[in-house]
Amino acid sequence: MGFAAYPGARELCNQHVLGASQGKRVEIQWRSFASGDTLADVTAFYIKRDAKNAQRKSGSLEVHHGEGRILTASPASNAELPSCSSKPKTTEKSVIVVSTKIE
């Protein structure tokens, strides 16, 4: 995935989405993981490993690796997260989404 796995995180989803960007066909693979740890703990973990590529954005953290690989850490209650049939448990406080653009 290009990012360190967060200790104890549980995989929720592993999906592919097709779309278009600037007239080109684009495939995005994304995986999401849930953690019982607070968002502050999750963001500290990723900032410690990759501070130069980390950006805080409206209650979440984004870490960019190259042009097409992004990790986003958000509160599990964030309604804007991509979703699938697996949902975070009530005890899980954070969700980590890793997306990779494949052209």
DSSP characters over 26-72: EEEEEEEEEESS-HHHHHHHHHHHHGGGEEEETTEEEEEETTTEEEE
Whether residue 24 lies inside any domain: the answer is no
Q: What is the pTM of this model?
A: 0.89
Q: Which domain holds residue 56?
A: 34-93
Domain presence at residue 99: no
Q: How many domains is the chain built from?
A: 1
Residue 29: inside a domain, yes or no? no
Asked, for residue 78, whether it belongs to a domain, the answer is yes
Residue 26 domain flag: no
Instruction: Give CA–CA dist 98/84, Å, rounded.
Output: 14
**49, part of any domain:** yes
Residue 101 maps to a domain:
no
User: What digits encode the pLDDT tens for the residues 41-82?
Assistant: 999 999 999 999 999 988 899 999 888 899 999 999 987 878
Q: Residue 70 domain-assigned?
A: yes
